Amino acid sequence: MKVSRVAAAGLLAAASLYSMLPAAGSPAPAAGSSSPDRPLRELAGRQLMIGTAVDHAAYTADATYRDRIRTEFNSITAENVMKWEVVEPERGKLDFSAADELMAAAKRNGQQVRGHTLVWHNQLPAWLTQGVESGEIDATELRSILRGHIIDEVSHFRGRIYQWDVANEVVDDNGQLRDSIWLRELGPGYIADAFRWAHQADPRAKLFLNDYNVEGISAKSDAYHALAKDLLRQRVPVHGFGAQGHYGVQYGFHSASEVAANLGRFEQLGLETAITEVDVRMIMPTDNVKLQAQAQGYSVLLQGCLLARRCNSFTVWGFTDKYSWVPGWFEGEGAANLLDENFAPKPAYRELQAVLTLSH
């Protein structure tokens, strides 16, 4: 493992050279002696968990989608079905059925599972947000509801989740704690509480802070560094820092070495790191230049992870443009994934193969 991390330093130049070679749409040459169609999980070997978010509805309906998840990835994240609005749509009625189906599939496929997510400002059940808004749920009750939610959910999956995104997107882009019902009602201590409750329910799971716009060094990632340091000083069981990796080709990317340096400073605090939700969107329609830029976006994140010493999982937020959250959330944008709508590899997929091959 250490050896391959060191070898990874040498791949930076090679991989960026490689990325200049194939024009999008043309068959990419295999890197080294690898076949161009060796699946990512095979190329990743034992050095890295390589994951995807899974859309439960697509998983149920589409055999090609199911197959590809099985062959390409050794880790999965539920894209939505572990979120609070799905697991407790009515107060007190827990429903883990969809999540359990994905857990069972992961077991059959020899895949590990990242848990996503326990405390977040989005995708909360209406009974909760409306109850707080109307004043029916006061701060004391809200705290006990959050505690119950975390303990119930983490206990349900105890021993079967290797990394939990405990606190998701709790810092805003200016580096302040995000204004949310949690911060407003409970104060900043809710973050430490969430980690403590999760740890109590599953002492073996690695517990993560997770956010977007924290891949490089910025006011936001600085704020996370300070937050992580503060939590660790209070002996809060936080074990990892996850950078989501939602990029857009029109904004440019960090360099791999900046990503590695940023992850490295969290590792110096004693944390593991992960890249948790990679997609690289573009303004539609696609063209070869954008697709090539997209490959570079995926590449710097994977290389950054490989160059860091304790970045142990790299997860894409969906792998085919057939099922992607991007067009529904970013008007006029799309094509953010590794495979196109017909599951054909895009340059980004070839790039990840090449980087993984070179990293051995």
Residues with catalytic roles: 169, 277
Helices 189-201 and 219-233: angle between axes, nearest 10 degrees: 60
What minimum distance in Å lies between the beta carbon of 324 and ligand XIL? 8
First-last CA distance in the chain? 9
Q: Tokens 């349900």 — which residue?
A: 156
38, 32 contact by CB (below 8 A): no
To 5 degrees, how large is the angle CA 345–CA 250–CA 219? Answer: 115
80 binds ligand XIL (CB under 6 A): yes
Asked if residue 65 binds ligand XIL (CB under 6 A), the reply is no
Least Å distance between CB 172 and ligand XIL? 14
Identify which of residues 79 and 351 has a Cβ nearer to ligand XIL in the complex: 79
| Closest to ligand XIL by CB, 292 or 337 | 337
**What minimum distance in Å lies between the beta carbon of 142 and ligand XIL?**
21
Number of helices and strands in the chain (H, E): 15, 10
Is residue 168 part of the contact set for ligand XIL (CB under 6 A)?
yes
Sign of CA dihedral 71, 74, 80, 86: positive
Comparing CB distances to ligand XIL, the nearer of 154 and 336 is 336
Residues in region 270-329 near ligand XIL by CB under 6 A: 277, 325
Cβ closest to ligand XIL, residue 119 vs residue 227: 119
- CA distance linking residue 282 with residue 302, whole number of Å: 19
Minimum Å distance from CB 37 to ligand XIL? 27
Give the CB-nearest residue to ligand XIL.
325
Decide whether 19 or 168 has the Cβ nearer to ligand XIL.
Answer: 168
Query: CB of 263 within 8 A of CB of 233?
Result: no
Site for ligand XIL in 227-246 (CB under 6 A): 244
How large is the angle between the packed helices 347-358 and 288-307, nearest 10 degrees? 30
* Residue of 15, 18, 79, 314 interacting with ligand XIL (CB under 6 A): 79
Helix (H) or strand (E) holding 168: strand 163-168
Q: How far is the CB of 288 from ligand XIL (least distance, A)?
A: 27
Point out which residues bind ligand XIL (CB under 6 A).
79-80, 168, 244, 277, 325
